[in-house]
Amino acid sequence: VTHSDGYSVWVITQFINKFFAFSVDENGVNPTPTISTVPQAIYPRIDEQGSNITAIGYLKVSPNGKKLAIAHSSVDLGGPRSGQKKSGKVLLYDFNNTNGIVSNQSTLVTGEYPYGVEFSPNSKLLYITSSIFDTEDDFVNSYLYQFNVEASDVANSKTIVNSSQTVAGALQLAIDGKIYRAGYPAFGSASSLSVINSPNTIGTACGYSPYNVSLNGNEVFLGLPPFITSIFRYSFNYEFTCLGDNTHFYVTSEDPYDNLTWDFGDGTTSTIEDAYHTYSSPGIYSVSLTLSLNGVDYDPIIKPVIISAPPDVLQTTYDLVNCDSFDNNPNDGISTFNLENAVGPISLNTTDRIDVFYYHTFQEAINDVDNENSLDYIYTNQIQDEILYAKVTKANTICYSIATVRLITSQSFEFGNFELTSCTLENSNQGEFNLNIARQNIITSLNLPTNVTIDFFESQQDAAIGVNPLENIYLSTIRTLFIRVEDNNACYGGGTLQLELVSFPVLEDQTITACQSDFPITIDSGLDVNIISDYNYLWNTNQTLEQIQIFQP
């Protein structure tokens, strides 16, 4: 059933003499329930088949969240299928849909085998199905009862709407405002549901029609799926919830009413059915709708309405600069931009969750209500100094502001080609490249300022827009990488880095024969003299030259 706040719900269960009400909202289920202790204790009773016979029967809450009814088909071990079917009860309680408390127990049915319970759409009447068995546990008949839960003596307001040979089954309020009944003839089967056509009407005029709704040959048993019947009450909806909008409020129920009053939660009211209201400040407003019929006011329907302010954006045009490089014409003013790089500046680096959509024109941004036709973030400008319109939308709202972004290309420096060499790894055609070495070589050889940012990329496209930079340690075969140099977060230039691999020379074990008088002797690595300078050396004597002296055998 819906919580009094209008958007969260209560999930209610019962065990022995306690009710457990769990609150469920947008954050999920609150694992700490509201626990209510009631006078009637219904203990678990396990029969020979291992079934808990006291668990049979429905629990329902009225659509207005004020009443709770529960059918216990049996409270004794001699219950269904085990010898005695005359111990069931139907209990009625008050329910507080603000705090989840169950209270004020009263007994409506006792000494029978009740099963289904359901409230009328206006929450004033309670319907119960109950089977009657004789002392031999043989089925006699069933009743469909109606109780007026607003009567001073609810138990004595009982009306027998129908008596039949239909086994008592579930009752369920449906979206058409009718109550449907499951069940079948005690000595047969059924393929149709019964229906209460006017469940708000007191007495037999409620329009009960047995086996009236065909299930097209499918068989009817006892159960019907329960769900949140409070959605069948009078309700309202609203739209246009950004600050400055003329927020629209309208009734969604088709049920009749004579008059209504809106309370917009800011001290303003209206009696216009299709109402509009403009709020002066953002916030959460408790909006209520009170309907009246035949001079009687229904309980107010209350919903929280969130009025959101549009996000703050940069009021001047932001210049997104990228170097005119990485294409065939570095002087045409055309480049590929990553529009994500403008999100922070135009949104004033907000920490709020936002979505940003880009368009060619202001009108396109306004007209694209669902933001389905926005530009890709990886965008190549069509003309020099092209201006795009950014729709900055606050997440989970329809509230937005428009900012402008100018795409500017800068004259870039071509840094040329660089080379980085590594050795192949053992049993591999790859080498381990330390890109930081290449980075320092570029800065040194070109005398660049030390605060520039140099990144390496696998593709020219990635380098052009500055995405997917490589880590410092990079495993690769022989290939070309692309360099992007930035200064103050703006593209400064580009170039290429050629990765080269050399194989380790094959070192062979050496055996040297020498006389005592030959010492000290000089030994070396055995490498060709042309490549000696390409390697570092470490002997087991901890010496690090290519040649070392040995002073004794």
Q: What is the pLDDT of residues 16-46, one digit of tens each?
A: 999 999 999 889 999 999 999 999 988 887 7
Reduce the DSSP state of residue 247 to 3 states and report it. strand
Residue 59 and residue 102: Cα distance in Å, rounded?
A: 13
Model pLDDT, residue 456: 97
Let me know if 334 is exposed, middle or buried by CB neighbors in 10 A (0-12, 13-18, 19+). middle
9-230 fold: Neuraminidase (2.120.10)
Residue with tokens 């600050």: 243
Is the confidence at residue 517, as pLDDT, over 90?
Answer: no
Give 525-542 pLDDT, tens digit per residue.
888 888 888 788 899 889
Give 202-242 pLDDT, tens digit per residue.
999 999 999 988 888 888 888 998 888 776 667 788 999 99
Q: What percent of the chain has pLDDT over 90?
A: 56
Band (pLDDT 50/70/90 cuts) for residue 347 is very high
Task: Output the CA torsion sign for 445, 450, 456, 462.
Answer: negative
Q: Which CATH number fits domain 413-502: 2.60.40, 3.40.50, 1.10.287, 2.40.50?
A: 2.60.40
Residue 112 and residue 189: Cα distance in Å, rounded?
A: 23
Model pLDDT, residue 249: 97
Is the confidence at residue 519, as pLDDT, over 60?
Answer: yes
| Mean pLDDT computed over every residue of the chain | 89
Give 147-177 pLDDT, tens digit per residue.
999 999 999 999 999 999 988 999 999 877 7
Q: What is the mean pLDDT of residues 306-335?
A: 86
Let me know if 271 is exposed, middle or buried by CB neighbors in 10 A (0-12, 13-18, 19+). exposed
H or E element in which residue 102 lies: strand 102-119
Residue 59 and residue 449: Cα distance in Å, rounded?
A: 76
SS3 content of the chain, % helix, strand, coil (to 5): 10, 45, 45
Band (pLDDT 50/70/90 cuts) for residue 276 is very high
Give 57-86 pLDDT, tens digit per residue.
999 999 888 999 999 988 775 544 445 677
Residue with tokens 């068989």: 219
Residue 6 and residue 249: Cα distance in Å, rounded?
A: 15
Q: Two tokens at 499?
A: 């990765």
Residue with tokens 């958007």: 7
Model pLDDT, residue 78: 52
Residue 540 and residue 532: Cα distance in Å, rounded?
A: 19
The CATH-assigned architecture of domain 234-307 is Sandwich (2.60)
Q: Two tokens at 6?
A: 């209008």
Residue 431 and residue 437: Cα distance in Å, rounded?
A: 14
Model pLDDT, residue 255: 62
Q: Assess contact for 521 and 514: CB atoms under 8 A.
A: yes
| DSSP code of residue 365 | H
Model pLDDT, residue 233: 65
Q: Two tokens at 455?
A: 């990144």
Q: Two tokens at 223?
A: 């159960």
Q: What is the DSSP string of 35-63?
A: EEEEEEEE---B-TTS-BGGG-S-EEE-T
Model pLDDT, residue 80: 47
Model pLDDT, residue 411: 73
Q: Where are the domains of the chain?
A: 9-230, 234-307, 318-410, 413-502, 516-550
Whether 413-502 and 9-230 are alike in CATH topology: the answer is no
Rounded to the nearest 5°, which phi and psi values hold at 290? -115, 120
Band (pLDDT 50/70/90 cuts) for residue 433 is very high
Reduce the DSSP state of residue 504 to 3 states and report it. coil
Which residues pair with residue 147 across a beta bridge?
A: 126
Examine residue 256 and say whether the peptide bond preceding it is cis (omega within 30 degrees of 0). Answer: no
Q: What is the mean pLDDT of residues 506-524?
A: 85
Q: Assess contact for 406 and 381: CB atoms under 8 A.
A: no
Q: What is the mean pLDDT of residues 421-429?
A: 87
What is the rounded radius of gyration, in angstroms, for the C-alpha atoms of the chain? 40
Q: What is the DSSP string of 164-198?
A: ESBPP--EEE-TTS-EEE---BTTS--SEEEEES-
Q: What is the mean pLDDT of residues 244-248?
A: 95
Q: What is the DSSP string of 424-474?
A: BPTTSS-EEEEHHHHHHHHHHHHT--TT-EEEEESSHHHHHHT-SPPPSEE
